[in-house]
């Protein structure tokens, strides 16, 4: 009966993993399979539970980072994420205190804010995008201050 319970638990974890695709429960399915093998070999329930917990934790902490790295290796940055590190031209003075600022990057206008609140960046300056916050570019003045646009 314990063998059937462990196999059923493993199946439940696998179904949850298939539904979520988050690499969250597959490790526990592995632990349940090991506990099922222990049950088939006649180990008592305490040993089965200990094996389930230990194998699940070991799989989670040792293999998850590797699996996540390989699964995310082929993912591409979204358009906004790809802008970080890019250069932009200031179209409207960037002044965080006045809540003004626009910049153009890749032919698109964005609301822009300076990385530092006390920095004012004039029109036609080149800026480097350091992050994206919602729909705003967070920028800092680039080494070459004036654009050729």
pLDDT tens, position by position, 31-74: 999 999 999 999 999 999 999 999 999 988 888 777 777 666 55
The three-state secondary structure class of 112 is strand
pLDDT tens, position by position, 92-148: 999 998 989 999 988 889 899 998 888 899 999 999 989 888 888 899 988 755 444
What would be the CATH architecture of the domain defined by 79-146? Beta Barrel (2.40)
Can you give the pLDDT at residue 116? Answer: 86
pLDDT tens, position by position, 138-148: 999 887 554 44
Between residues 134 and 90, which one has the greater pLDDT?
A: 90
Assess contact for 109 and 91: CB atoms under 8 A: yes
Between residues 96 and 23, which one has the greater pLDDT?
A: 96
Can you give the pLDDT at residue 100? Answer: 92
> Percentage of residues in the chain with pLDDT exceeding 70?
87
Residues 97-108 as b/e (b if ≥16 CB within 10 A, e otherwise) read eeeebbbbbeee
Nearest to 139, CA basis, from 112, 99, 119, 118: 112
Nearest to 113, CA basis, from 105, 124, 127: 127
Q: Where are the domains of the chain?
A: 2-72, 79-146
- This prediction's pTM: 0.49
């Amino acid at each position: 009966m314990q063998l059937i319970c462990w196999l059923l638990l493993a199946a439940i974890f696998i179904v949850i993993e298939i539904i979520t695709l988050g690499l969250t429960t597959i490790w526990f399915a592995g632990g349940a399979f090991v506990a099922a093998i222990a049950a088939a070999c006649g180990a008592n329930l305490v040993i089965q539970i200990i094996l389930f917990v230990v194998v699940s934790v070991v799989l989670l902490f040792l293999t998850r980072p590797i699996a996540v790295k390989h699964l995310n290796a082929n993912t591409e940055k979204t358009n906004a994420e790809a802008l970080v590190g890019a250069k932009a031209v200031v179209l409207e003075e960037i002044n965080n205190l006045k809540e003004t600022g626009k910049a153009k990057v890749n032919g698109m206008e964005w609301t822009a804010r300076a990385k530092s609140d006390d920095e004012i960046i004039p029109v036609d300056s080149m800026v480097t995008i350091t992050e994206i916050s919602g729909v705003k570019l967070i920028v800092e003045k680039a080494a070459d201050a004036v654009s050729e646009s």
